[in-house]
Amino acid sequence: MCGISGWIDWKKDLSNQQEVLKKMTDVITHRGPDAEGFWFSKNAAFGHRRLIVIAPEGGRQPMVYCQDGFTIALTYNGELYNYRELRQELEAKGHAFTSLSDTEVLLHAYLEWEESCVKHFNGIFAFAIWDERKSQLMLCRDHLGVKPLFYTETEDGVIFGSEIKVLLAHPSVQAIIDQEGLAEIFGLGPMRTPGNGIFKNIKEIRAGHYATFTAHTRTLKPYWQLQSRQHTDDVETTVETIRTLLEDTVKHQLISDKPLVSMLSGGLDSSGLTAIAGQEYREKGETLQTYSINFAHDEQDFEEDFLRRDRDEPWVQKVSAHVGTTHHSIVLNAEDLAANLYAPMRARDLPGIGELETSLYLLFTEMKKHATVALSGESADEVFSGYPWFHQAQFLEAGTFPWLVNLGFVSGILKEEWQERLQLKAYQRRRYQEALLEVPHLDHEDEWHRKQRQMSYMFITRFLPFMLDRKDRASMMTGFEVRVPFCDYRLVEYLWNVPHELKSIDDIEKGILRRALKGYLPDDVRYRRKSAYPSTKDQDYLKAVSQMMLNVLDDHESPLLQFVKVDRLLRIAQGEDQEITGAKAKQLLDYLLQVNAWLKEYNIVVQI
């Protein structure tokens, strides 16, 4: 995994812009602490930071190929899991390789198929290609959007990078937020609209899309989309197909020249991946290392809530013993979480969900001490319809993004003038209706199945991108790569058409996955009910963030104060509000503290 940066200008000579490009690339050193590289031509400048995972000697970037007197340059972040198969196919077509890296395979795939090359890839990736023959820049992102890629257009060119901070490091890009950006921040929160970079004029390549830019043309095209069709496989075939795809995906994603471990929560998703990977390791005579997160005093503090039924730790130990892993439980306390609250915000360049991101960042910090790569169960709930929201009528009938039903209280803290100006309810409805129009419905589908398909689409295209952002930035901030087998596009497109009642067979969420993992896990683990990523229940954490907010409110220069009802927020921080208390107060304070720090640290200009 790596970080990429670049700048195209069709009028300005960039061959002497080393200082600017180095500054842009240096801000993502964390994404690639092992090496750096730069390439310049008259109209293009590419930067690269490398985290070595595959082919230490052969994957140096930017990678350049000269053909008929013209140059094709590549800067690339990610992994092609099918690069060995692709290499064989390209060699049969006459291509010669000088390294064992997937980077060279990607470049030669472009030489063979140009923009259509992406239809041959299976992996997680974000890349830029400058084709001097066409004087064209191509930007592309993987099917599900696991790897990030942002860009902004200038009068005569394009500036791009793995993270927003790359663009902001360029002297011509300002940190401005306009009315739409504020509506995203206060109306949608971290689950932003796909393609929206929040900052004015900053955009993101959407998952499954590529863009091409020349001096006179701009195109943005999808190369992969969910397609609805009748599911004709019977139960046994469906189970076997899922099992076969998972086994193949995990096997490919275990390829690494650096130490690889697995995340293990004791839930179905991570336990299943751990069991499959553990078997592969045993066959090689090796032992898989696993990691989980736990909180100090969790045994006495734990309380069941809407998303969390029971504690993870007992299940973690059971799965580890069953699979035969060497397990490491990372224990965090309230002080750790509060002290690092802003680290994920700085990693994502945007406010996030507080301690749920902070704990992940601290977990990766510990894992990086012993490994470079990990497997994670992200996206299983989205594609197998595992979240509680899928199974309750109030969310299916909500007429908005289901997660906003319980998380829409941020907007009520805004001053009346901002509520009137931003019209957040209307903004949420508009974005929801836009998403509805994208859903590829199946002809003659009844209303209940239509709503389940809509719910799946919302989670895959609106909720999952945030979860992947969270995982990518928290891991890459520590120079650590996380792979997500459930995001294999073959599995996602297959499950898209599996009916909800089949996904939930045996009257339990993700029942079809539970059947597919038979033989890999004990039955009580396979049929453990869904329990979400853990959240601390330690009251010391709520006290800590409450005090942090009191400090913000006491500072008249805090940029947050221009937006919020100070008296109401003061009551919440003091624990005196009647409506927003406990977990709700923690969520709100976590988020608004980050909004304040983000506005301040990034010197954001509010432009309405």
377 has binding-site annotation: yes
Kindly state the tokens that stand for 318.
Answer: 């059971």
Please give the Cα distance from 199 to 202 (Å, whole number). 5
Model confidence over 458-504: pLDDT tens digits? 999 999 999 999 999 999 999 999 999 999 999 999 999 999 999 99
Per-domain residue ranges for the chain? 2-222, 235-390+469-526, 539-606
Q: What are phi and psi of 193, to 5 degrees?
A: -65, 130
Confidence of residue 50 (pLDDT cuts 50, 70, 90): very high
Contacts of 324 (CB under 8 A, 6+ apart): 278, 282, 287, 288
376 is in an annotated binding site: yes
Q: What's the count of helices (H) and strands (E) in the chain, helices before strands? A: 26, 19
**CATH classification for the domain delimited by 235-390+469-526, as one of 3.30.930.10, 2.40.50.140, 3.40.50.300, 3.40.50.620:** 3.40.50.620
**Token pair for residue 225?**
């989309």
CA–CA distance from 97 to each of 90, 94, 104, 109, 428 (Å)? Answer: 9, 10, 7, 12, 50
Tell me which DSSP letter residue 31 carries. Answer: G
Provide the whole-model pTM.
Answer: 0.96
Flag the least confident range among 57-71, 154-168, 537-551.
Answer: 57-71
- For residue 6, which of 65, 61, 78, 68 has the smallest C-alpha distance? 61
Partners of 378 in the β-ladder: none
pLDDT at 219: 97
The reply, when asked if residue 349 is annotated as ligand binding, is: no
Which one has a higher pLDDT value, 515 or 57? 515
pLDDT of residue 575: 95
Whether pLDDT at 54 is above 80: no
Instruction: Pull the structure tokens for residue 419.
Output: 């509520």
Which has the minimum average pLDDT: 196-200, 229-233, 302-306?
A: 302-306
Report DSSP letters for 464-514, one per residue. Answer: HHHHHHHHHHHHHTTT-EEE-GGG-HHHHHHHTTS-HHHHTGGGSTTHHHH
For the question of residue 66 being annotated catalytic, the response is no
Out of 2, 117, 140, 487, the active site residue is 2
pLDDT in tens, 537-595: 999 999 999 999 999 999 999 999 999 999 999 999 999 999 999 999 999 999 999 99
Given a contact cutoff of 8 angstroms between Cβ atoms, the answer to whether 198 and 599 are in contact is: no
Assign 3-class secondary structure to 336-394.
Answer: HHHHCCCHHHHHHCCCCCCHHHHHHHHHHHHHCCCCCEEECCCCHHHHCCCCHHHHCHH
Tokens of 272: 């299943």
Kindly report the length of the chain: 608
CATH class of the domain defined by 2-222: alpha beta
- Do the domains 235-390+469-526 and 2-222 match in fold? no
Half-sphere exposure (Cβ direction) of 459: Cα atoms closer than 13 Å: 26
Residue 409's pLDDT is 64
